[in-house]
Amino acid sequence: MLRIAVVGSGPSGVYAAQALVEQSAVPDVRVHILDRLPCPYGLVRYGVAPDHEKIKSLQNNLRTVLEDDRIEFLGNVEVGARGLGPQRLLELYHAVVYCVGAARDRRLGIPGEDLPGSHSATDFVSWYSAHPDAAPEPFTLGARTAVVIGVGNVAVDVARILARGADELRGTDVPEDALGALAASRVRDVHMVGRRGPSGAKFTTKELRELGALPSADVLVDPADLALETAYADPAAVPAIVRRNLTVVREWAARPPQGRPRRVHVRFFLRPVELLERDGRVGGVCFERTAPDGSGGVRGTGRYEVIEAQLVLRAVGYRGVPTEGLPFDADRGVVPNAAGRVLREGSCSPGEYVAGWIKRGPTGVIGTNRPCAKETVNSLLEDAAALGQRQVAADPEAALWAAGHRPVRWPGWLAIEEAETALGRTLGRPRVKIPDWTGLLDAAQAAASDRPDATR
C-alpha cells in the first residue's frame, strides 16, 4: 500500500487526491488530506464570493471525492505545528503533496498603507466568508466612500459585496455579524481603481457584467479615462477577452446613471501614491494619473488626483507563504518545483510534491487546478516504485494523535455543516457559517463518538 499525505483540502488538494485514487498504474493508494482548518474546500469555502452560488456549489463535486473510501479528511491538523514538519511527514507517509495555496495579500508599498481603515481585500474576504482567523471587524461601519485598489476579479468581488444591499445577501451563508455590519453600512460610493487602462485589467467579462446588473447600484465610467486607451485604435490586435471587457466599459461610459442608491465608479489610469490621514484614520487616497508608455505599460504624468474615502481595500494580488522546512522562492511566492516535484537546491527531493497556487502562483480559475494537480500526480506515479520502498509508520493518524493533534474527521465536518444549517434555521436563513474556531470545533465535537481513542 502506498500512503500519501495531501496537505490542503482546496481544489488542488482534492483534485490531487482524486487523481491518486482514480489511476490504475499503482494499486492500493491511500490518501490522508490534512488541513489546518476543521473545514474542507480551501478558497472555494473561504474565498469564492457568497453570492456566487453556482461556483460555490462546486463544493458538491469536491465532497464526492472526499467521501471516497480510499481518502480520509483530517481537518484541524496544521503542518508546521506540533513538530509536524516536512521531515516528520516523510516518516509517516511514502509521499507528501503540498497544496497549501497562496492566501496572503500583496502590499502596495506606499505611505499610509497601515492606517486604520486601510485593509487588504484578503482580510475583507475572510471576514465576509467567516474564516475563523479573520478579525471580527465591522469593516464598513461609518464609511461613506470606499476605494478598492485593483482591477481583477477579487477587486470586482469586494466592490460588488460593498455595493449590494444586505437584503441581497440574506439568502447566502454570510455570517450573521458581517450581514449585520453590511446592513448598517453607510457606504454609497465605491471606487474601483486601476493604474492601467481597461485593456490591462485582469477581470473576466462575466464578473464585470455582473457588476453592471446589480439592482441597487449604478456603475459609472468616466469617458475621459477611456480616451487614453490605445486598444480602441485597433481592437483586432487585442485578445478576445480584452475586446469584450472594452465593450462592457464603453457601454457603461455611455449609460446615464439610473439613480440607484449606490454607485460603483470604475476608474483607470490612476496609480496610488499615498493613503492620506484624517483624524488618525484613512481619509483618502492620492493617485498619480498615468498614461500608456507605448510599450504596453504606463508612466506617471506628474498630475495628481485625490479620492476622499474612509475605507480602502487593497486587491492587488495574492502570494504564497513559506512552510517551515520546505524550500521557497520568495520572489515568485511559490515552492520551486519541476512538474510538481519539489526542488531542494536544484535537485528533486524524493517524496515531496506541490500542486495548485503554491506550485504555479495565484493564477487561473478553480478548474485550472485540475490539470495542475494531474501533472504533479503523474510525476509522483513515475516515482512510485522507489517511494514504495521507504519504511513509514503503520498508522500515521495515531502518530498525529500522539503528537497532540486532534484531527476533525469527515463526520466532524458533517456535524459542522449540520450546525450551520441549524443556525440558519434559527435566524430564518438557509444556512449561516460559523465564524470562529471555538464554534467550529464545538460543532465538530457532536461527532466525537466517531473519533478514535485520543490516547492512541
Q: Which residues bind ligand FAD (CB under 6 A)?
A: 7-13, 34-37, 42-44, 47-48, 52, 55, 78-80, 99-101, 103, 125, 154, 157, 318, 323, 356-357, 364-366, 369
CB distance 355 to 16 below 8 Å: yes
CB distance 383 to 40 below 8 Å: no
What is the per-residue DSSP string for 156-196? HHHHHHHHS-HHHHTTS---HHHHHHHHH----EEEEE-SS
CB of 56 to ligand FAD, least distance (A): 8
Strands 318-319 and 104-105: antiparallel
CB of 46 to ligand FAD, least distance (A): 7
Of 152 and 197, the one with the shorter C-beta distance to ligand FAD is 152
CB distance 101 to 43 below 8 Å: yes
CB of 74 to ligand FAD, least distance (A): 10
Query: For residues 151 and 67, what is the distance between their CA atoms, to the nearest angstrom?
Result: 38
- The candidate with the shortest Cα–Cα distance to 182, out of 146, 139, 238, is 139
Of 206 and 303, the one with the shorter C-beta distance to ligand FAD is 206
Of 165 and 361, the one with the shorter C-beta distance to ligand FAD is 361
Of 122 and 290, the one with the shorter C-beta distance to ligand FAD is 122
CB of 214 to ligand FAD, least distance (A): 16
Residue with cell 500608456: 292
Which three cell numbers mark 246? 472594452
Bridge partners, 30 (sequence order):
3
Query: For residues 88 and 392, what is the distance between their CA atoms, to the nearest angstrom?
Result: 10
CB of 37 to ligand FAD, least distance (A): 5
Of 3 and 271, the one with the shorter C-beta distance to ligand FAD is 3
Of 283 and 362, the one with the shorter C-beta distance to ligand FAD is 362
Which three cell numbers mark 177? 455579524
Q: b vs e for 151-183, b when ≥16 Cβ sit within 10 Å of the residue's Cβ?
A: bbbbbbbbbbbbbbbeebbbebbbbbbbbebbe
CB of 329 to ligand FAD, least distance (A): 16
CB distance 318 to 106 below 8 Å: yes
Of 84 and 264, the one with the shorter C-beta distance to ligand FAD is 84
CB of 381 to ligand FAD, least distance (A): 20
